[in-house]
Chain A
């Protein structure tokens, strides 16, 4: 048993921390206030290899492991959630899913430019009337000759207005759609340039205002047969396996947010005086700080365990869900306490903690709400839910194979 980060992980952590401090932190407040997504960060993240961090070198990636992906998410969200979200959708939900399920041709065509950051990718499962109820989606795909025709609306999609490639889910079997039989659902890779694809941005979100969130509209979009990811009817399994990686990045990000709350609170508690002493001397403030430390350490340990399982190639749906549930709920609680510690100043955007509070709520809801994660945990404990082997399992991380050129 070893609880220490390897030298390599420590260097990755320092590099991303430095990158986030220099490239993101100086402008984040402005982008949050104006609700603008800073596209210029993408080529900078690409140049640094972050957009393919844990993908194999032969697919354009940087060949690092799942813990490196997690550490990068922690460091990005330490500065602002919006930048961690980029890794969540581009790498976690899309890139890793192509790695797991894609054909060699799909990997060459889509994964390589995405890992290099030449193309940006996202994931579209959620619809205006179907979130937790993923089988309730309405999008359809009908076969016409050698291609599929997609129709439907995707909603609350991160990077909807930014991404070039989208991994979307739609019913290919109308009978099964009516019967709510998830084996009638399939996954497709669509490109922004396909006829009938339109996207838009949603403004007025509570948080993650420096991020881009929006909708994708598909009107009679012709999709070549070779753009189906996995086999016909495998869409639901693909969507769920993608969440094992998406949730992992969300959990790590929330852990970074907790650390940001802790650091901001400790700093302020040492500066601010009340009743003749710095407020850190007051025990009720100490209690809030102690809780943040508890939540940071526990969230991080759960994340590290999930990352270790991923590196070993062991199925981690339950452990990742637990990490995501605990870390996101904790980040919301810690952010609320961080605002409390800052008093009236915490309520204004002069300090960062109000942004942390607004940002933290989203992840409690998306990628499996707090309630869904609780159901998952209970169902595993009660024996109502068991992992069944997938046709394509995520391979274990092998540094030699991951770092092999072509």
Chain B
């Protein structure tokens, strides 16, 4: 079983503030973490390895410091890690990112499964995982909350998807790409042995030269169809507050219920 996990290093959004003039994230001095949804993907990959043997490869595209995120994944138990970094990749939107990652993944064949978090907490698009599947022409199973069955021999997987309307059970062939939600597992912590292995590991860096088949026109900012025209704060919603008064909670509740009925809320 070869599982490839795509991860992204993101700013820790619990610490992020917005620059009021440019409306962009203030990234200086903010700790970087593995995108939390991706940690569930790593964990799922590690569980598959524990069950079937094989290996887990983590892959990330980003600036050189994204190496830290890969090392964290190795400290959790991933076997191999590859960093895609090149000025030519800079400014990639979700399409160009998926395109670049898919070329890297072609160099990592054979594989049985690709795992991604459902979305990154900085961009929140959720498009890169499905984009990779489309580029590689393999099936995609998004928002997976449980792997119900998986058999690498017969190349079959059955998963439960968490959708807005409910849960959906899907059968699919392998290799496939899964994006996972946080219900799927509880990620483990790095271990001391893993930390030692990670700090001693030299993480291979692939630049655009390492992907000679990729069309340079499709890389980085140049290859990105998305154009950010303007970033703005949506106007604050205004509302009116009414303070209900009454002596007892029951009176207050009755007043509230009357108001909600009158406003046709309930």
Contact = CB atoms under 8 A, between A and B. Distances in A.
Interface residues of A, number: 17
Contacts of A12: 192, 195
Given A12-B195, A15-B195, A403-B196, A7 B190 contact: no
B192 A49 contact: yes
Interface in B197-225: 198-199
A49 B199 contact: no
Contacts of B196: 8, 63, 403
Given A18-B189, A62-B192, 15 more contacts: A7-B71, A7-B199, A8-B195, A8-B196, A11-B71, A11-B195, A12-B195, A15-B189, A15-B190, A48-B189, A62-B193, A63-B196, A64-B192, A68-B192, A403-B196
Interface string B73-90: 001000000000000000
B199 A11 contact: yes
A189 B75 CA distance: 36
B192 A63 contact: yes
The listed residue with most A CB atoms (<10 A of its CB), out of B190, B191, B195, is B195
Contacts of A53: 192
A48 B75 CA distance: 12
A14 interface: yes
A376 B71 CA distance: 44
B72 interface: yes
Nearest to A23: B189
A64 B75 CA distance: 14
A19 interface: yes
- Name the 4 nearest CB pairs between A and B, nearest first: A62-B192, A8-B199, A11-B195, A49-B192
B18 to A, nearest CB: 15
Contacts of A40: none
Interface of B: 71-72, 75, 189-193, 195-196, 198-199
Main secondary structure of the interface of B (DSSP, over half): helix
Contacts of B192: 12, 49, 53, 62-64, 68
Interface string A81-110: 000000000000000000000000000000
A403 B197 CA distance: 12
A69 to B, nearest CB: 11
B10 to A, nearest CB: 15
A179 to B, nearest CB: 47
A194 to B, nearest CB: 33
Contact of B191 (A8, A48, A68): A48
Interface in A1-58: 6-8, 11-12, 14-15, 18-19, 48-49, 53
A18 B195 CA distance: 14
Nearest to A7: B199
Given A48-B189, A49-B191, A14 B72 contact: yes
B81 to A, nearest CB: 14
A29 B129 CA distance: 40
Nearest to B76: A15
Contacts of B191: 48-49
Interface in A131-149: none
The listed residue with most A CB atoms (<10 A of its CB), out of B72, B190, B192, B199, is B192
Contacts of B72: 11, 14
Contact of B199 (A6, A48, A62, A63): A6
A66 to B, nearest CB: 14
A18 B31 CA distance: 13
Contacts of A19: 189
A28 B39 CA distance: 25
Interface in A270-328: none
Contacts of A62: 192-193
Nearest to A44: B189
Contacts of A14: 72, 190
Nearest to B75: A11
Nearest to A6: B199
Interface in A156-206: none
B186 to A, nearest CB: 9
A263 to B, nearest CB: 11
A14 B190 CA distance: 9
11 contacts: A6-B199, A8-B195, A8-B196, A8-B199, A11-B71, A11-B75, A11-B195, A49-B191, A49-B193, A53-B192, A63-B192
